[in-house]
Structure 1
Amino acid sequence: MSDVAFSKPVEDSVPKINDEVAVGEDLGFQRKWWKFETFMWWVIALVLVLNFAGFLGRGPVAHATLSNDAMLVKYERVERTGTPSILEVQFQPNTLGKQQVKLHVSQSVVKELGAQRVIPSPLDTAVGRGGLTYTFSAEEAPGSVQFALQPSRPGIYHFTLEVPGSPPLSARVVVMP
């Protein structure tokens, strides 16, 4: 190695202030960054509010009900892939005067929404008309049936429920990843 002495110190292109190291700044860029950062904080806050409200699942906005003269249906408008949920059908008192009540469920409840089980177990199940027709004992009120659902893939799925002799109830469920 050579023993060359440098006689001139290294000069910094950014001037020192009060004999301290100057780091330089770009105030225009910094202001843009602050605006971007503020915008992102608002986006995060909006996503959190939407999540707690149920727009992304499991909240007050996600719960829905449908009804007609034969039944009341409670379900979740927004579900998550692989997450269990309950679709509940409560039969109206005028439906329960007979020994049995039949409920026709579209195939999408079983196929796309992933019905795992039916509670209580039906007395009989018939396949046809684009779905399943369950027969339940209807000796005492209140009568209700629960379908344990667990969707296996995201998408928008439509389902229909019908008690023979009354108008069908149709709804849509959004399954998110």
Structure 2
Amino acid sequence: MTGPDLHDAARAVGEDVPFQRRNWRFQRIGWGVMAGIVLLGLIGGLGNGPVASATARPESGGFTLDWERVQRAGNEARLVVTLDASAGPELAVRVEGELADAMDLVGVEPIPLRSSRAAGLLHLVTAAAEGRPARMVLRTRSRAPGLISGNVTADGAAVRARILVLP
């Protein structure tokens, strides 16, 4: 039905065809948004997946930082610092900024020889074999949703990490 036939049918049944078309358009947009959220979840954009994981190295090299870019508040996450080759008998890692303040430290592997904490700073030192790769795993828990950023420093070089904490 087109033209006058459509308007006659609308009057006979009491339909509002322009409203119905707007409603259908709104529904299709809603379906698209829902499909996008499901797809984002499947590829890890809402946490625990390839999109949520990040790896970075400072320009000068020396170490690699692996972390989860998208996390859930209250869930445990990991920051992994891997030093290419230790320059000495110790691996010292500094976590600075909101990254140190907005997250609780649940555990560190291996157990640190020394640690200190101040506002906006977490300093951890663990044993390392000189000339060999060293690794430190920080298990953390975010306290509240939001955007967290800060620097992780090891071997004199720093990497900026940004984390989106979802509820």
TM-score (norm 2): 0.79
* Counterpart secondary structure, 1:43: helix
Gaps of 5+ in 2: 1-12
| Per-residue deviation, 1:129 | 8.7
Residue correspondences, number: 152
Matching residue's letter, 1:34? W
Q: Name the residue aligned to 1:167.
A: 157
Matching residue's letter, 2:63? M
Counterpart contact for 1:107–1:132, Cα < 8 Å? no
Give yes or no for the alignment of 1:151 onto 2:142.
yes
User: C-alpha deviations, 1:125-144, integer Å up to 9, x for none?
Assistant: 13469413221111274321
Gaps of 5+ in 1: 1-23
Q: Which segment is superposed worse, 31-40 or 74-83?
A: 31-40
Counterpart contact for 1:105–1:132, Cα < 8 Å? yes
Q: What is the correspondence of 1:80-119 to structure 2 with a 5 Å cutoff? A: 80-93=72-85, 96-106=86-96, 108-119=98-109
Q: Which has the larger share of strand?
A: 2
TM-score (norm 1): 0.75
Q: Name the residue aligned to 1:40.
A: 30
Identity of paired residues, percent? 27
Distance of 1:25 and 1:120 partners within structure 2:
74
Q: Which has the larger share of helix?
A: 2
Q: Name the residue aligned to 1:6.
A: none
Distance of 2:75 and 2:107 partners within structure 1:
14
| Per-residue deviation, 1:32 | 3.1
Counterpart contact for 2:104–2:141, Cα < 8 Å? yes
